[in-house]
Each structure stands twice: as C-alpha cells, then as structure tokens.
Structure 1
Amino acid sequence: MLEHSQVLDACRRLRKLEEWRRYYNEDRPQGAIGNKPPITLMKPGDAPTPSP
C-alpha cells in the first residue's frame, strides 16, 4: 500500500505535469506557427482545456 507521502508526491507530480502541459499548448509561442501558442490552431467549437 502507498504511504501518505507517496500519494502526495504523486499528486504534486500530476499538478506540475498539468501546469507544463497548459504552458506548452496554451501559452508557449511556437516559431513554426508565427510565434503563436499552439492552442490558436484549435478549431472554433473544439472543447477548451477545463479549468483546474
């Protein structure tokens, strides 16, 4: 069985991964698409990323 600290560490890792994913897809300028964030390529009507 997992220790409490292991569960907390796993939760922290998941939170950090989600923060990185959001930055990578929604904030980070991408030179190949005119220094816009990748989310700008999303089609209107596609589901946005849910808020945490």
Structure 2
Amino acid sequence: MLLQFLLSQFYHSNTITNVLSLQNYKNMRIIRTFAFTLNVNSLQTAH
C-alpha cells in the first residue's frame, strides 16, 4: 500500500527532520486556522 510505504519512509528517514517537519506542519495548521478565523470575523463585521 502507498500509505504504508510513505509511513515506512517517514520512520526510516532522519528522526530530527521528522520532528521538525511535524512541528512546522502543526504550526502551519495553527496559522491557517487563525487566518481563517480572522477572515471570517472581518467578513462578519463588514456586513
């Protein structure tokens, strides 16, 4: 399966890089959620 292959690649590659990329991914999700919330708020106040 492709997913299993990706997971095995993930676990066999550099652990430090994995942790950093995972942290970046979580930060990007937080930033996106925050920006989305700001956009919704500005749209609501505009009307």
TM-score when normalising by structure 2: 0.54
Bigger-Rg structure (1/2): 2
Count of paired positions: 33
Shift of 1:35: 3.6
CA RMSD, 1 decimal:
2.0
Runs of 4+ in 1 over 4 A off after TM superposition: none
Of 20, 26, 33, the match for 1:9: 20
Q: Could you list the runs of 5+ residues in structure 2 that have no partner in the other structure?
A: 1-11
Q: Percent identity?
A: 3
Structure of greater relative contact order (alpha carbons < 8 Å, 6+ residues apart): 1
